[in-house]
Amino acid sequence: MLLTKRLYTNLVLCFFSFSLVIIEIKGDNLFASEGLQTLINGKSGINQSSPLTRPIHQQLTNDSPNAQIMYWLEGDPGYRWYGIMIELSKAYPQHRNGGRMVALHYAHYRALRALEEKKLSLSDSQKQIEVDGINIRVSERNIFSRLIVALVSSEILKYYFDDATEDIDRQIKSCTHALSQIYRFTDAEMETIDSIVKAESSFVINWANENNTDLEIDTIISKRDSYWYGRPGKKDITKGKWRPFTYEDQGQFRPPPPPNFDDDMEELRQFNAQNLISDKAWSWKIIPFWDNVLDEKILANYASGSIDDLEAARIRFVFHVGRYDATIAAWEAKYHYMGIRPFQMDEDFKPILVNTPNFPGYPAGHTAVSGSLEVIMTHFFPWERDRFVKMSEECSESRFEGGVHFRTDNEVGLEMGRSIGKHVLEVLVD
């Protein structure tokens, strides 16, 4: 069946209609494979006419089997699957349930930790393979990690995007084909992998079933002086009711009540009178700076050997828990206080960002998340602390300059987020 509205239009899924290439490792034939037949069932079955013909994140210069191996071996084991989750979220916005990134990386971390606990006799020593003239170093453990992460990713993705099963299966076939080129998995090894995947994906899906992120409320908030009003999104109004990952009471981090915002409003008027545009406001609205810096730091440290598969998964997991828990706390406070937005307080005020988000302002969600991620990233990459602090403060300022938040919204949100980030680290790391 041809795909008409499919994810990640630039993904190579036209795998091979020709015979597979076996890659020799210099001085060792250990990594040779006839394929994971139980998973890939012979040829990949990719529809050559599918519009999904290029990989996420990069364009391949050729479509050879070796190029597929290069694609799936890039970065840490969770890197590609994180990108696929993003593209699925764009292609199927009706299924963008909260907590999906936590679930994905929680499954990765649990599965890789389970692999470690199995204490299999897997070699950590890296062997060099040559793919299209490029030398790649890979270990037995890394190949196992990549397969396990791929398979648990498939289960989590199908849970959140049940009408994207064909697309997800094509990804799995592409990935398992690539891995089968460089390692021969025995039946016993596949049984071990299967047991890990079933146990950990089921555990995480059970968590997802109980986190309340599927709640919807359709309501209209009537206009009152000094309070936010409007018709919020059905899912947006329930974010403060989601089940947090590291604390029980959604209101645990609720800040004190907001001020009357008179001084804040005057400050915004003066800024707008002197500035017609703010590059800072628009860039922070459009660019996922925190996600980009997370990938930057993990990929660089992973490539240098400073962090391994499990540590990369742990960092991604803690990062997304920090974002998730900060979001819940911020939205609980938003709908508790119903903080008015600048354009509602002064109907003549025109925000630089034009469109104000359709939910209460106090405290600012962007800055609450930034404060949490600043603390978490500083923990894992302490030598970059100044950079992360600058990022969170710039994010805070961007919401003021954009005219969608009062300065108080941002300052309170930032400190609130920092408290949540510290709490997340205490629970998950310390």
Please give the structure tokens belonging to residue 418: 């920092």
| Residues linked to residue 25 through DSSP beta bridges, in sequence order | 28, 129
Classify residue 51: in a domain, yes or no: yes
**Residue 23: per-residue pLDDT:** 30
Q: Let me know whether 259 and 406 are in one domain.
A: yes
**Residue 78: per-residue pLDDT:** 97
Of the candidates 369, 352, 364, 375, the residue with the CA atom closest to the CA atom of residue 412: 364
Q: In which residue are the tokens 């974010």 written?
A: 239
Please give the structure tokens belonging to residue 149: 């992460």
| Residues linked to residue 53 through DSSP beta bridges, in sequence order | 12
Q: How many residues does the chain have?
A: 430
Q: Let me know whether 280 and 243 are in one domain.
A: yes
**Residue 295: per-residue pLDDT:** 97
**Residue 64: per-residue pLDDT:** 67
Coarse DSSP helix, strand, coil percentages of the chain, rounded to the nearest 5 percent: 55, 5, 40
Classify residue 346: in a domain, yes or no: yes
Whole-prediction pTM:
0.85
φ and ψ at 357, to 5 degrees? -55, 145
What is the number of domains present in the chain? 2
Classify residue 73: in a domain, yes or no: yes
Classify residue 202: in a domain, yes or no: yes
**Residue 113: per-residue pLDDT:** 96
Classify residue 148: in a domain, yes or no: yes
Q: Let me know whether 356 and 287 are in one domain.
A: yes
**Residue 63: per-residue pLDDT:** 52
Classify residue 81: in a domain, yes or no: yes
**Residue 181: per-residue pLDDT:** 83
Please give the structure tokens belonging to residue 396: 């805070």
Please identify, among 209, 244, 268, the residue that sits at the C-terminal boundary of a domain. 209
Q: Let me know whether 139 and 284 are in one domain.
A: no
Q: Let me know whether 177 and 241 are in one domain.
A: no
Mean pLDDT by 10 residues, the chain (430 residues): 28 26 30 35 31 35 68 94 93 81 98 90 68 73 94 96 92 91 87 95 96 94 94 94 97 96 97 95 95 97 95 98 98 98 96 94 98 98 98 97 97 98 95
Classify residue 216: in a domain, yes or no: no
| Residues linked to residue 131 through DSSP beta bridges, in sequence order | 134
Q: In which residue are the tokens 């309501």 written?
A: 219
Q: Let me know whether 249 and 357 are in one domain.
A: yes
Q: Let me know whether 197 and 243 are in one domain.
A: no
Q: Which CATH number characterizes residue 283's domain?
A: 1.10.606.20
Please give the structure tokens belonging to residue 406: 């009062």
Classify residue 16: in a domain, yes or no: no
| Residue 90 structural domain | 37-209
